[in-house]
Amino acid sequence: MSAQTDGRDAQPAIALETVELEKSFGGVHAVDHLSVRIPRGLITGIIGPNGSGKSTLINLLSGTLPMDGGTVIIGHRRLQTIRAHESPTNGITRTFQEIRLFPQITLMDNLLIAMTRRSVFSSLFQRGRGARRERAEAILWAIGLWEKRNDLAEELSYGQRKLLEIGRVMAMDANIYLFDEPFAGLALHMIELVKSLMRRLRAEGHTIIFVSHNIGIVRELSDYLIVMDSGELLAEGAPEPALNDPAVIEAYLGN
Amino acid sequence: MRITSPGDGVQLSRAPQFLLASLRGRLEVWVAVLVILTAAGFMLSRGVGFSIGLMTLFTLWGMLAISLNLVLGYTGLLSVGHIGFYGIGAYTVAVLTTNPRREFLGDEVIQIFAWPFFAALPVAVLLTGVIALFVGLVFSRFRDDLYVLASFGFAIISLNVFVNWQWVTRGPFGIHEIPKPAIGGFVFNDDLEFLALALFFLAVVAIIAWLIVTSSFGRVLKAVREDEDAVEVFGYRASHYKLAVWVISAMMAALAGAVFASYTSFVDPHSFILLESIILVAIVILGGLASIPGALLGALSFVLLEEGIRFIPLLPPEHVGQARQIILGVLLILLMLFRPQGVAGRFKL
């Protein structure tokens, strides 16, 4: 997306911006007039206590939930509504907090889904061979599941399924990658693998946004940090100053 | 491999275990071999005429089973309304091809076309496709249980149309003397010739279905079946895919109906009751969800069961129908308990 890099000032370019973004469930404001700017080409961590609206934000950006109000600006697009199937057009892809693979199809097919033609008619005449398959195999190698490529996704362990879901979004040609709790429940070596995969995406120029409860990983991995509480923005900026913000310490870390 | 204690007892107890494991791992192969051998033996013992009849029934159920498997096995939509499309196909061919001799029902004049079969066939398939498009547009609002209920409603409505739209369908009297297919002076009059034609149509349906399920489209269908919302995030319109496969599947069922009408030369609403739809669902689950050979295996097993049960000794003829349904029901329950994907299936309900 170098074409859209506007060199107006020295500020890092913005990959995604929300303006007064709103979402309520019943009377509860899950995301409450949230205005944030996500820098392009960096890893942005989102933290906050349970129920602070982190996952809801991810769901709104990917169209998994409809927004109630506000605007999302992605590149030149100003969006008042986002529908899930428009995510690739918006250059967005995501993983889910509760893993949502396609359990009763093979690992290979789980990845190929991210790569094949989207239109009903042309997909009828496309067969999953050649370059796409090679790319899928390369991703399976990278996440260490190549040997299981013809197994069903439901046969994998929890951690492996989590890795496959990350592999599936890597197979997308997206600009912005949303990871909802990518480290939860993973063994240490898998955490290291996911970290390196996210850094690899960043090195390729992609924008990464991830939600996590693990402050240590957030501190280590994030270039930029957003702290949310009760659907509102509590702090943003470089990780260390943001984490040391008195409001953050009080609201999120307690006492 | 235990080498230290090669006692006889161990050897003996291991052999059946090995057999059992092999039976489980390759159940589809074993069942297929068993069913085909039974069918062959049965046909050899009953003679040529019987065999041709059995095989023709198999082609009809085979087409229907493949058609439903696209929707049920690959896309995960449990439709009990497919018999409606089968009926629409059959009635369209019946109405368009019937001979002017039997045109009166009381004072009402029945529309007469007397088209050749091969002219009526594409009309039947396309008309069913259009109807399925509208039905599917309504159905796209439903999922899971509601989908089953909606398709149930469709089966009831279509049956009522067959019974009550007497001006076209002649209602319970049915339409008689539907001609055999003819092309360029050649009439598929002989049973064997008709079987060849029916097998040709079955092959066409099977090949189209195979091309569909091995394409990217087929992969998306399976993903829709697994998680409709997640597949949207990857840029696919799940509802469009469901609608497309629904229409294709309905057209296949209509083709089967058209062949059926011409085969029996008589259609009446009784062939399109809900029970037939449920039997069709049973055939697909029995043979194997999300598997085309499975659909064919299910169809062959069912035809064998249907025709073979008459020859079970000590079974009074008036109970043949019930016995068939009981056996089918028990088989279904056993499968749901021990092998929910069906014999050769790739998808567990």
Res A70 pLDDT > 90: yes
Contact yes or no for B232 and A85 at CB 8 A: yes
> Does the residue B9 lie in any domain?
no
Q: What six digits make up the tokens of A87?
A: 């995510």
Using CA atoms, how far apart are residues A190 and A162, in angstroms rounded to an integer? Answer: 9
Using CA atoms, how far apart are residues A22 and A26, in angstroms rounded to an integer? Answer: 13
CB B32 within 8 A of CB B297: yes
Provide the 8-state DSSP code for B26. T
Architecture of the A1-91+175-188+203-255 domain: 3-Layer(aba) Sandwich (3.40)
Is residue B50 exposed (0-12), middle (13-18) or buried (19+ Cβ within 10 Å)? middle
Res A225 pLDDT > 90: yes
For chain B, the maximum distance between any two Cα atoms, rounded to a whole number of angstroms, is 91
Distance of CA A129 to the CA centre of its chain: 28
Q: Which of B65-74, B138-147, B220-229 has the lowest mean pLDDT?
A: B138-147
How many residue pairs from chains A and B have C-beta atoms closer than 8 A? Answer: 90
Higher pLDDT, B2 or A175: A175
CB B191 within 8 A of CB B126: no
Q: What six digits make up the tokens of A50?
A: 């349970």
pLDDT band at A4 (very low <50, low <70, confident <90, very high): very low
Among B234, B236, B347, the strongest candidate for a mutation testing the A interface, having the largest count of A CBs within 10 A, is: B234
Q: Looking at the 3D structure of chain B, how many domains does it have? A: 1
- Nearest chain A residue to B76 by CA distance is A104
- For residue B231, list chain A residues with Cβ-Cβ distance below 8 A: 102, 113
Using CA atoms, how far apart are residues B204 and B255, in angstroms rounded to an integer? Answer: 10
> Does the residue B24 lie in any domain?
no
A83-112 pLDDT, tens digit each: 999 999 999 999 999 999 999 999 999 999
B232-277 pLDDT, tens digit each: 999 999 999 999 999 999 999 999 999 999 999 999 999 999 989 9
> Does the residue B239 lie in any domain?
yes
Average pLDDT, chain B: 87
**Domain enclosing residue B150, as ranges:** 55-273
A172-188 pLDDT, tens digit each: 989 999 999 999 999 99
pLDDT at A8: 43
Contacts with A, B 237-266, CB within 8 Å: 237, 240-241, 244
Distance from CA of A84 to the nearest CA of B (A): 5
Higher pLDDT, B213 or B339: B213
Distance from CA of B222 to the nearest CA of A (A): 7
Contact yes or no for B222 and A85 at CB 8 A: no
Query: If we measure between CA atoms, which residue out of B137, B119, B141 comes closest to residue B129?
Result: B137
Compute the Cα dihedral for A151, A154, A156, A159 and give only its sign: positive
Using CA atoms, how far apart are residues B176 and B8, in angstroms rounded to an integer? Answer: 69
- For residue B229, list chain A residues with Cβ-Cβ distance below 8 A: 64, 84, 100
- The residue ranges of every structural domain in chain A are 1-91+175-188+203-255, 101-172
> Does the residue B29 lie in any domain?
no
Higher pLDDT, B241 or B39: B241
Average pLDDT, chain A: 89
Contact yes or no for B233 and A124 at CB 8 A: no
- Nearest chain B residue to A171 by CA distance is B234
Using CA atoms, how far apart are residues B158 and A171, in angstroms rounded to an integer? Answer: 45
Using CA atoms, how far apart are residues B111 and A159, in angstroms rounded to an integer? Answer: 66
B144 in contact with A, Cβ within 8 Å: no
- Nearest chain B residue to A119 by CA distance is B236
pLDDT at A12: 54
DSSP symbols for chain A: -GGG---SSSSPPEEEEEEEEEEEETTEEEEEEEEEEEETTSEEEEE-STTSSHHHHHHHHTTSS--SEEEEEETTEEES---GGGHHHHTEEE--SS----TTSBHHHHHHTTTS--SHHHHHT--S-THHHHHHHHHHHHTT-GGGTTSBGGGS-HHHHHHHHHHHHHTS--SEEEEESTTTT--HHHHHHHHHHHHHHHHTT-EEEEE-S-HHHHHHH-SEEEEEETTEEEEEESHHHHHH-HHHIIIII--
CB A15 within 8 A of CB A41: yes
Give percent of chain A with pLDDT exceeding 70. 93
pLDDT at B13: 59
Distance of CA A237 to the CA centre of its chain: 19
- For residue A85, list chain B residues with Cβ-Cβ distance below 8 A: 232-233, 235-237
ipTM: 0.89
- For residue A89, list chain B residues with Cβ-Cβ distance below 8 A: 235
- For residue A124, list chain B residues with Cβ-Cβ distance below 8 A: 212, 215-217
